[in-house]
A and B are shown apart, each in its own frame.
Chain A
């Protein structure tokens, strides 16, 4: 693995944490939408909802980003 040096490593660490926070946000949003009462396992309906949730959130983000002027 190439040596990043101190600054490079710090930047990488920041990027990794930013990515984790985004993912964390997703997880909470989709948990809210898709899980009503937690059961013994994730059933297929919940899994489908979670998949759709991720996809629709991405679509929404892209739609809003491309809709903004400039």
Chain B
């Protein structure tokens, strides 16, 4: 790799591999934080009724179930989408228009 060439429009290819790795790790952390934020909102909606003086055990149990079921749901839907795309390849084209 020619380290003296400018990066210009070449994208990440000419970036120092250490920096690239750093960017990947930071991107992953950011994605994880977004997921946590999203799940907090979704599970708050499903599990919280009227906010009381403390988090009761029923809400806590619900939060545990919520996170696990959300992961199950994601997996289920991803599998389903994969199956559908195999049988209806036209679909991805119309979605990307």
Contacts and interface: CB of A to CB of B under 8 A. Distances in A.
B80 A39 contact: no
| B interface: dominant SS | helix
Among B38, B70, B81, B97, the most chain A Cβ lie within 10 Å of the Cβ of B81
Contacts of B95: 22, 61
Contacts, number: 76
B69 A39 contact: yes
B6 to A, nearest CB: 14
Query: Which range holds the interface residue count of chain B?
Result: 20 to 34
A35 B46 contact: yes
Contacts of B73: 27, 30-31, 34-35, 42, 50
Interface of A: 6-7, 9-10, 18, 22-23, 26-28, 30-31, 34-42, 47, 50-51, 53-55, 58, 61-62, 65
Interface of B: 10-14, 38, 42-43, 46-47, 62, 65-66, 68-70, 72-74, 76-78, 80-81, 84, 88, 91, 94-97
